[in-house]
Amino acid sequence: MNEITLIKPDDWHLHFRDGDMLRETVPATARCFGRAIVMPNLVPPVTTAQMAVEYRERIEAAVPNNTQFTPLMTIYLTDKTTREEIKAAKAAGVVAAKMYPAGATTNSDAGVSGLDSLFPVFEALAEEGMLLLIHGEVTEKHVDIFDREKEFIDRHLVRIVEKVPSLKVVFEHITTKEAAQFVMEAREGVAATITPQHLLLNRNDLLVGGIRPHNYCLPVLKRNIHQEVLRAVVASGSERFFLGTDSAPHPKHKKEHCCGCAGCYSAWSAIELYAQVFEELNALDKLEGFASLHGPKFYGLPVNTETITLEKSPWTVPDEIALPAGDSIVPFFAGQTVNWKLKG
């Protein structure tokens, strides 16, 4: 097979950042994705309906001419989020709320420190038909970083899913066999996104031969037994799993710092890398479902009407991408060969 034509895919988990960075990140995503769920962890975070509307306008201003792309906005949950704010967000067209445990990842210091007070907010989300998107890790320092996802499931996620049975929940960027099993066995209304880095890499790719800061993301890469389970569930064609790149740009100097930022910037190669994974798994027939169909179905949105075509044409991901402000980003898979390329 030398070409694949897909219904235009969507990215159900994405970081654009803000300001001048939008001139790089928005075109990179809009080149092949019709929509994207936009993460709200800016500085300051997008915690209100008005902030979400203003952020959406800044993103839309960066979409290239003659390109159809729709940002789907989220708000950032804090300990102070109210039911009224959820209703206002729904009225403003916001589709979901994102829950970060405080300190779990980039710009998450204002995140949730306790769950009990948020159950009225979760109920409001369900009533308004909005989704809850969860970064599922505990953050206590005594819990091993490789065990934090499983600990979150056992301690918190089971309770959220059971206590608000009408709430749609997306377990974001899952990384472990326990997370995959939880999603497969959960009630209706529970799904997960999976990133290209967690399908392509394991913790050896972060640590063997020296620390590789551009492969550092949160949740951190896990051992290969977890990677293999994630690859198996996407190859299965299960509708509970869909594309979410977690593409997260940082300037090169912040990644290569003594305390480097977490995140892989995959926007310029994401759909091509997913195709590479599915080809390796002899599951190219399952790619369109994962990339283009399962997400819209879960979110209750129409499938895109356009298509994209990928061709078998090896190319090399650039070593660096220049930013408008003069800095640069080292993209995910920099300097490596990708076997599929977006056509046209």
Show pLDDT as tens, one digit a residue, over the chain (344 residues).
899 999 999 999 999 999 999 999 999 999 999 999 999 999 999 999 999 999 999 999 999 999 999 999 999 999 999 999 999 999 999 999 999 987 666 655 666 777 888 999 999 999 999 999 999 999 888 999 999 999 999 999 999 999 999 999 999 999 999 999 999 999 999 999 999 999 999 999 999 999 999 999 999 999 999 999 999 999 999 999 999 999 999 999 999 998 889 999 999 999 999 999 999 999 999 999 999 999 999 999 999 999 999 999 999 999 999 998 789 999 999 999 999 999 98
**154 is annotated as contributing to ligand binding:** no
Residues noted as catalytic: 246
**41 is annotated as contributing to ligand binding:** yes
**79 is annotated as contributing to ligand binding:** no
Q: What is the pTM of this model?
A: 0.96
Say whether the peptide bond before residue 44 is cis (omega within 30 degrees of 0). Answer: yes
Say whether the peptide bond before residue 64 is cis (omega within 30 degrees of 0). Answer: no
**16 is annotated as contributing to ligand binding:** yes
| Pairwise CA distance, residues 71 & 96, whole Å | 12
**13 is annotated as contributing to ligand binding:** yes
**252 is annotated as contributing to ligand binding:** no
Residue 265: which of 25, 1, 3, 86 has the closest Cα?
25
The residue range of the domain holding 293 is: 3-342
Say which CATH number the domain at 212 has.
3.20.20.140
Question: What is the phi/psi pair of residue 241, to 5°?
Answer: -125, 135
**97 contacts 127 by C-beta, under 8 angstroms:** no
How many domains would you assign to the chain?
1
